[in-house]
Amino acid sequence: MRRALKKLVFVEPKSTHLHVYSRVPIPRLGSVLLATIMRAKGYDVRVYIEDIHAIDMNEVMSADLVAISAITSTAPQSYRLADKVREAGIIAVMGGTHVTFLPDEALEHADYVVKGEGEFAFQELVDAIQCGEGFEKIQNLSFIKDGKAIHNPERPKIPNLDVNPIPDYGLITGWKPGAVVSIATSRGCPFSCTFCSVPGMYGHAFRTHSLDRVLEELRIHRDNLYTFFADDIFTANKKRVKELLGRMIQAGLTRPWGAQVRTETVDDPELLTLMRDSNCFNVYVGFESINPRTLKLFQKKQDLAKIERSIERFHSHNIKIHGMFVVGSDEDDLETIAATATFARKHEIDSIQFMILTPIPGSPDWDTLYAKGDKYVISRNWSLYDGHHVVHQPRRLSPYELQMGAIKAMQKFYSWGGIAERLWKRDVYYTTIRYWGKKMIRDWWKDEENRAHVQWLKERLYSEKQSLGQRALQTIGVPEALLQEKVGQLLNTFLTELGVKVVPLAERLVEQAEDALARARESVDCLIMPVVKRVEQGKEEVYAHLTAATEALQARLEKLPKVSFPVLGDQGPIFEPFAKIGLLVTNNLEKIRKAYRKAGVTEGLWEVA
């Protein structure tokens, strides 16, 4: 069916959650680039980036087509907007990283989904809507036909980025020239950090704009306050970036700038000198962790020595550092999170962000954590997938402890002491940034959804204690079949470390007389009931026997207080189920963590940390 299209509105909804640079919005380029392309083709276009200006719903509802960009944390409000648009009979198109990897979900709200790089697919889609045909030929497009989702093949990545025009920021409603501007000189990332979706979206191949094109864009924005080079890794090709910086200096295009870089940037003295001389104000460095085990897990290919060296060398060239850390990996505990904040203060990193490990669609972690099911993913509320809320189950600490540990680490850095350090150095800018960081944390706690999420995590941890009351348990019955498994042996050692008497309950107890059962009931305070969540390959019969034995004991000891304990097969032990049982014995979480670590070492499950 043909549709006449004249007015196109592009929208980037605002994330509902705060971060340290919320007051200094750096707009993403997708919407304004598409709007620039479509205006050149004769369309009436509007662009709303909600971080810059509120969305005018009258303008949105007067459009023939509304294109909505969604990252994972903005998906809920993006979907709500798409629903309103469709209800009004307007065509809703969605794009962005989130819907690229979850097009079926997006098609519940939108007429069309443009996946991956959308410049050519979007133009072809608008042409197809005008003609009423040709949708099946558009690569990167998903749509519904005859009630069935159609996902067209992926389009090759754009080899020459110069085919795209320079984005016209003047199209953004509320845009004020002279503010912060984003300029992308390349796409793609050659690295494979497990938590990142960039290679999934833009590929590992490093594709670039010509330097002439970059310089032309810099000239257009030569009076802006600050330029953010929006490359995934700005210094990935050191030879190219050195030539760019040299030409910027030669042309006098040296307004303050910043970019995302890696620690090995500092290994090139010439590059560092050019960065300083071209007026690099700050760099955003993905340090990720000071925990060597976590760095290895993230496939980060750097160590603590590299991190320390990069901090020293950037600072020696008067380049400020925004340190980005990811907390909550399977190798992290509360001690490493707290130590990271101490490290950042000690080494005078100028500003930081602690991002809680989040399985973003398109990242390797998404495939890994989601493949393991509910054991790992504890919330599918996309608005919480912003790196500031725990949505997965870490291995060495509970989700509640991770949430509180990340907040306390931020509080430790963005403290009055941290603010005073910058004030003493007469660094007005970072004194202000650190004050904003402190205020951001205070404002975070004022948000009802944030408080509710923290309370929910706490209730998960204390659920067994709340169900059994406040009485501390001294004797706990455990099915003998569980104690024969590695996780059961760990549980036995853990409880013993806490001073609990573990009573093995044999399967044959089921067949004994009532007086023997009564004695068994009197000898234990509660019964641990293993629940098989995942069967280890090759041990199907063992787990079937464990389930049968547990069910039999439960039936004969029905009046005994019971605590469920998940058995996760080849996924190994997880701290939170142990913590839930430990809280039945003591309210001291630190004591519980120490007992768990000591039990793990005793049972040979991990080395001494």
pLDDT, block means (10 residues), the chain with 609 residues: 88 76 72 96 96 93 97 94 97 96 96 95 96 93 95 93 94 87 89 74 85 96 92 93 97 96 94 97 89 71 84 97 90 89 93 90 78 72 93 92 95 94 91 92 92 96 82 82 88 93 74 57 79 73 78 73 77 84 92 92 72
Sequence-distant (6+) residues with CB within 8 A of 346 are none
- In the three-class reduction of DSSP (H, G, I as helix; E, B as strand; rest coil), residue 481 is classed as helix
Q: Note the pTM of the prediction, 2 decimals.
A: 0.90
Q: Is 163 part of a structural domain of the chain? A: no
Which among 134, 151, 168 is the end of a domain?
151
- Asked if residue 32 lies in contact with residue 69, where contact means CB atoms within 8 angstroms, the answer is no
Number of domains comprising the chain:
3
Q: Can you give the pLDDT at residue 109?
A: 98
Clarify whether residues 489 and 385 are in a common domain.
no
Rounded distance between C-alpha atoms, residue 381 and residue 394, angstroms: 18
Which among 419, 451, 481 is the end of a domain?
419
**Which domain does 540 fall in, by range?**
469-602
- CA atoms within 13 A of residue 53's CA, in its CB half-sphere: 15
Clarify whether residues 265 and 414 are in a common domain.
yes
Q: Can you give the pLDDT at residue 252?
A: 96
Which among 378, 395, 419 is the end of a domain?
419
Name the packing angle between helices 448-461 and 399-413 (round to 10°): 130
Q: What CATH number does the domain containing 526 carry?
A: 3.40.50
Q: Can you give the pLDDT at residue 381?
A: 93
Q: What CATH number does the domain containing 241 carry?
A: 3.20.20.70
Q: Can you give the pLDDT at residue 115?
A: 96
Q: Can you give the pLDDT at residue 481?
A: 84
Sequence-distant (6+) residues with CB within 8 A of 263 are 285, 287, 302, 306, 307, 309, 310
Rounded distance between C-alpha atoms, residue 547 and residue 563, angstroms: 15
| Per-position b or e across 224-263, b if 16+ CB within 10 A of its CB | bebbbbbbbbbbbbeebbbebbebbeeeebbbebbbbbbb
- Asked if residue 380 lies in contact with residue 75, where contact means CB atoms within 8 angstroms, the answer is no
- Asked if residue 100 lies in contact with residue 202, where contact means CB atoms within 8 angstroms, the answer is no
DSSP string, 11-38: EEPPPSS--TTTTS----SHHHHHHHHH
Clarify whether residues 146 and 204 are in a common domain.
no
Q: Is 56 part of a structural domain of the chain? A: yes
Q: Is 608 part of a structural domain of the chain? A: no
Clarify whether residues 242 and 94 are in a common domain.
no
Please choose, from the candidates 217, 196, 274, 201, the residue with its C-alpha nearest in 3D space to the C-alpha of residue 240: 274
Q: Is 438 part of a structural domain of the chain? A: no
**Phi, psi angles (nearest 5°) of residue 227:** -110, 130
**Phi, psi angles (nearest 5°) of residue 280:** -65, 120
Clarify whether residues 143 and 219 are in a common domain.
no
Q: What is the bridge-based pairing of β-strands 112-114 and 141-145? A: antiparallel
Clarify whether residues 113 and 196 are in a common domain.
no
Compute how many other C-beta atoms are within 10 angstroms of the C-beta atom of residue 507.
16
Q: What is the bridge-based pairing of β-strands 91-95 and 320-327? A: unpaired
Clarify whether residues 267 and 370 are in a common domain.
yes
